[in-house]
Amino acid sequence: MKKNVLFLIFVTLLGTYKSTSQVIFSENFQNGMPSTFILRNLDGLTPASQVSFVNQAWVARQETGTTNFMAVSTSWYNPPGVSNDWMITPPITVNQANAWLTWRAMTPDASYRDGYEVRLSPNADTAISAFSVVLFSTNAEEVTWTNRAVSLANYNNQTIRIAFRNNSNDKFLLYIDDIAVAAYNQIDVAGKSLNMNSIIAPGNVTISGVLTNLGQTITSMTINYRVNNGSVVSQALSNLNIAPTQDYAFTFTQQWNATVGNHTIRVWATNINGQNDQNPANDTIVQQITVANATNRIPLLELFSSSTCPPCAPANANFKNFMSTQPAGEYSIIKYQMNWPGTGDPYYTAEGGVRRQLYGINAVPAMKIDGQWDGHQGQLNQTILSSFKNQPAFIKMRAGYSLQGQRIYGGVEIEPLFNLPAGQRLFIAVYETETQQNAKSNGETRFYDIFKKFVPDTINNQFANPANGIALPAINANQKYIVPYTYTFKGTFILPPNANVPVNHAVAHTVENFNNLRVVAWIQDMNNKTVWQSTIAQQNLFVGLSEQSENNVLSRLYPNPAKDVVRIEVTSISDSETYVEVISINGQKLFEKTFNSIENELIELNVSNLPEGLYLVRIKRDEQLQTHKLKIIR
């Protein structure tokens, strides 16, 4: 039974919008479980070790990576059983006719969704038998934070208690947060979100999104959208029943004919229950949309596995068999071996661990597609894969690699079809197509597409850890930007005994066969972890982009960095002509000249007119070609 012990990050709705309600009671658990709450563990069962932190009927628990606290209950017991855990509020006096009980709830594992009841004691008695009114019940809560609301109109001028009861049978965890009783007397619809990516392809586009009711129950309204300064498109809605705090998912029937360019879309509601919105400050959703021509997507499939993980063996086998039915070259694949379970895989690397931490993965097998999808390689099917493959991409990429002993080098060409903002990360990963020496206890004897090393930053050396990628500058639409790279594996082969003592790349390597090294590259938005595009490097493409070895040097360039003058010393002795060109990093040729009969002489280039930045200097003589990276400083 797999239950992922993972606390997800969500935005608290009540912290996002300023409600116009009159609050009678509220609790957000930011100061822990209140002493005024009554907790009753009526099942007497022992939580499984993985959730042993739930040492009472309910506990206050912080969400990982946030400052938010919530109430947590479990139904995962050892031995299994049915939960009967109660969380009871202090007495609440309802003194408004339009009072509602609201709360947020979720369960974090889609395969083990806890259910629960919300009960009411009409006279605030604390006896379990007094909670005779069932206000709400579900067998399986949603896997994302969901706003719930129940009217308390029947209990006006009464003092009551509310109880949350986990009654699930061998599930996982239940989260409850932001419990409130409030009166909603005004008209207030807030814009929440649009279901649109910030970059889309041209064509007819359906506009949809979410509005939130922060006022009294809505039975009718008109929704509107406007693109730039164009005409307003309106759509009347009736027969609604949107309770306070509840979200409403809308879809306009009239599509937008999106054309290439930058656009501003606004969505808002009017004529709500025949009235004006009384809190206009939160009415409108505003989103900037870029419409750009698209290219084919090469999805990035990142797998997490270990040779000490029993379920990884069938999952990896199923994945390999499934991917053998896919067209070659249409997917980038890389697999990170992990340092657990047990002592972990000998080919674990700290850089692979950084990728695991990026995604919050705490169980293997696991898999990410373009930085998204929370499944594993054994669960992959055609529907899932095609849903990513069929998404348009807005960056063209090519990459090349060459092998020279223990050195791998080449270049990555990036051509965005829109104005790519600065700060996007380029990752260049070296992997081995097949390994065998890392076999351990799970029965696998051959391992495929095994990650070995991220290439260090060749642009600006901004990140000390190559696993953090290469920060790209802003790149204009349809401009080609070239990133050269090179990496030499140090020392000799070593087989670490386990993942507790991983390879030290400064002195050794774990490459079994250098001829089996390959490269994949991708560009990722680190804010939302979405991969823009990936590419599989082709052998000997961009072969001249990285410096040659010291044993085969055609020329030396200095000083580097330079300000005004650069000198090129041509070291090969020949009467042939020497061709020199200077290229900007986006591929524009800035200078070219052929020098005659140079033999161990200096070529001086005046670079005083070049802006600060990185350039490529290519020198060709006879059949030799060498490319230097030149940095200009000001």
- CATH topology assigned to domain 554-632: Immunoglobulin-like (2.60.40)
Whole-angstrom distance, CA of residue 623 vs CA of residue 343: 51
- At residue 3, the pLDDT reads 42
Q: What is the DSSP letter of 421?
A: P
Which one, of 277, 210, 267, 219, lies nearest residue 243 by Cα?
Answer: 219
Distances in whole angstroms, Cα of residue 298 to Cα of each of 432, 482, 533: 20, 19, 6
Band of residue 270 on the pLDDT scale cut at 50, 70, 90? very high
- Largest interatomic CA distance in the chain: 104
**Could you give the 3-state DSSP secondary structure of residue 280?**
helix
498-504 contacts: CB < 8 A, separation 24 or more? Answer: 498/343, 498/344, 498/346, 499/306, 499/337, 499/338, 499/339, 499/340, 499/343, 499/344, 499/345, 499/346, 499/348, 500/339, 500/343, 500/344, 502/339, 502/348, 502/349, 502/350, 503/347, 503/349
Please, which residues have CB within 8 angstroms of residue 426's CB and are 6 or more apart in sequence? 412, 414, 469, 470, 472, 483, 521, 522, 523
CA angle 118, 119, 121 (to 5 degrees): 150
Q: Half-sphere exposure (CA, 13 Å, Cβ side) for 302? A: 27
Q: Judging by beta carbons within 10 Å of its beta carbon (0-12, 13-18, 19+), is residue 569 exposed, middle or buried? A: middle
- At residue 20, the pLDDT reads 58
Q: Which CATH class is domain 189-291?
A: mainly beta
Q: What is the pLDDT of residues 427-464, one digit of tens each?
A: 999 999 999 999 999 999 999 999 999 998 766 666 77
- At residue 551, the pLDDT reads 41
Q: Is the pLDDT of residue 1 over 70?
A: no
For residues 336 and 451, is the Cβ–Cβ distance under 8 A?
A: yes
C-alpha dihedral (424, 426, 427, 433), degrees to nearest 10 = 130
31-38 contacts: CB < 8 A, separation 24 or more? Answer: 31/69, 32/60, 32/69, 33/58, 33/59, 33/60, 33/71, 34/90, 36/89, 36/90, 37/87, 37/88, 37/89, 37/90, 38/86, 38/87, 38/88, 38/126
- At residue 13, the pLDDT reads 35
For residues 50 and 171, is the Cβ–Cβ distance under 8 A?
A: no
Q: What is the pLDDT of residues 41-81, one digit of tens each?
A: 999 999 999 999 999 999 999 987 789 999 999 999 999 99
Buried (b) or exposed (e) across 157-166, using 16+ Cβ within 10 A?
eeebbbbbbb
- The amino acid present at 474, given as its one-letter code, is A
Q: What is the pLDDT of residues 340-386, one digit of tens each?
A: 999 999 999 999 999 999 999 989 999 999 999 989 999 999 999 99
Q: Tell me, rounded to whole angstroms, the distance of Cα 492 from its chain centroid.
A: 36
- CATH topology assigned to domain 20-184: Jelly Rolls (2.60.120)
Q: In the chain, what percentage of residues exceed pLDDT 90? A: 76
Question: Could you tell me the two tokens for 88?
Answer: 């009871």
Whole-angstrom distance, CA of residue 315 vs CA of residue 80: 27
Element (H, E) at 119: strand 116-121
Does a cis peptide bond (omega within 30 degrees of 0) precede residue 80? no
Please, which residues have CB within 8 angstroms of residue 28's CB and are 6 or more apart in sequence? 12, 14, 69, 177, 178, 179
- At residue 578, the pLDDT reads 83
What are the residue boundaries of the structural domains of the chain, listed by start?
A: 20-184, 189-291, 297-539, 554-632
**Average pLDDT over all residues of the chain:** 91
> Which residue in this structure is represented by tokens 């090294």?
517
Q: What is the pLDDT of residues 75-126, one digit of tens each?
A: 999 999 999 999 999 999 999 999 999 999 999 998 899 999 999 999 999 9
Q: Is the pLDDT of residue 310 over 80?
A: yes
The edge-to-edge listing of strands for the beta sheet with 613-621 is 589-595, 578-584, 613-621, 624-632
Q: What is the pLDDT of residues 526-551, one digit of tens each?
A: 999 999 999 999 998 865 555 444 34
Q: Do domains 20-184 and 189-291 have the same CATH topology?
A: no
Whole-angstrom distance, CA of residue 558 vs CA of residue 604: 10
Q: Is the pLDDT of residue 6 over 70?
A: no
Which residue spans within 142-231 are E strands per DSSP?
Answer: 146-151, 158-166, 173-183, 189-194, 199-200, 203-205, 208-213, 221-227
